[in-house]
């Protein structure tokens, strides 16, 4: 299942307000750790098929990055129905999986 590319604040807001657990990956093309974890993220889309995955290019979406208070890349934000359910800062795949499982179990 591919990632949804986020191209603007309105699209991001609409997606975050939907009743679907969404993992938003904030990254940039120059970010080494972002590139390192990217292959693993592709596999996660199949492991967690009931979860939507989205990517926000931090360089192209400064407004979203600022509103979400992203200070480090990669940062993963879990959202559903307008609620922020958790963050994972850095390329920590195990912590990300744990947060996804926790958020999915509350759904």
Show which residues are catalytic: 31, 34
Residue 33 CB coordination number (10 Å) = 14
Give dist(CA 100, CA 48) in Å, integer: 8
The pair phi, psi for residue 91, each rounded to 5°, is: -90, 60
Whether the CB-CB separation of 15 and 22 falls below 8 Å is answered with yes
């Amino acid at each position: 299942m591919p990632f949804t590319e986020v191209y603007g604040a309105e699209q991001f807001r609409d997606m975050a307000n939907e009743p679907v657990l969404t993992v938003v990956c904030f990254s940039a093309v120059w970010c080494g750790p972002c590139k390192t974890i990217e292959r693993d993220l592709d596999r996660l889309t199949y492991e967690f098929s009931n979860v939507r995955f989205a990517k926000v290019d931090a360089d192209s979406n400064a407004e979203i990055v600022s509103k979400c208070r992203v200070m480090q890349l990669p940062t993963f934000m879990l959202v559903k129905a307008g609620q922020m359910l958790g963050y994972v800062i850095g390329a920590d795949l195990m912590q990300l999986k744990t947060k996804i499982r926790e958020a999915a179990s509350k759904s």
